[in-house]
Amino acid sequence: MSFNFRTFAASTAVVLAAGAAFAQTNPMVGGAEMFADKNIVENAVNSADHTTLVAAVQAAGLAETLMGAGPFTVFAPTNDAFAALPAGTVDTLLLPENKEQLTKILLCHVVADSVMSDAISTSQAADDVPVVVDSVGGCPLTLKKDAAGAVIVSAAATAPANVTIADVQQSNGVIHVIDAVLLPAN
């Protein structure tokens, strides 16, 4: 039996193409791949869109918690979301004397469970009931989908935030990227 290089090369190409078709790509957030085998903090530090959130999590001393076993769902505001707050708000919150307030705000973005977008019904009828979950910070979060299927999250004291990237799997939960900062009622 002789070796046929063309047959071998063609067979190898088919196998590689089939493998690539079945390979799942990691979602991109802030220009960085998010790896399902890394925890929330390990992934977030690589997102160019979440540098303010990472700085706030570190200032509040929550990094170790969010590296824990979970599961956690984090509604992760982008840098633009923080920039939309009144001028000076972020700088003031990052001061050591405001750590308690910063922690409360950040924990309003965390649910001690894994909440995937497919668990939220699409609000098309008046009798649709949105999903309400309690955040670790004690803020009730209302989750719903609009008629187009986009996820919207609301906290009592803020306008709704749109989920711009949903269901980013982490080793200890899930991240949903949002376009606004959620604030507690008090």
Answer yes or no: is pLDDT of 13 > 50. no
Q: What is the pLDDT of residues 153-170, one digit of tens each?
A: 988 767 889 999 989 898
Identity of the residue numbered 79: N
Say if residue 122's pLDDT is above 80. Answer: no
For residue 129, what pLDDT band results from cuts at 50, 70 and 90? Answer: low
Yes or no: domain 35-178 corresponds to CATH 2.30.180.10: yes
CB 43 within 8 A of CB 177: no
pLDDT digits (tens, 9 = 90+) for 41-65: 988 998 888 999 999 999 999 999 9
pLDDT at 125 over 50: no
The secondary structure element, H or E, covering residue 169 is strand 161-170
Contact 119, 141 (CB under 8 A): no
pLDDT tens track for 73-121: 999 999 999 999 999 999 999 999 999 999 999 999 999 998 888 877 6
103's CB contacts (< 8 A; 6+ apart) are 60, 61, 62, 137
- Contacts of range 54-59, beta carbons closer than 8 Å, 24 or more positions apart: 55/94, 56/82, 56/90, 56/93, 56/94, 56/102, 56/106, 57/106, 59/93, 59/94, 59/96, 59/99, 59/102
The whole-number pLDDT of residue 106 equals: 95
Q: Say if CB 173 and CB 133 are below 8 A apart.
A: no
- The domain locations on the chain are 35-178
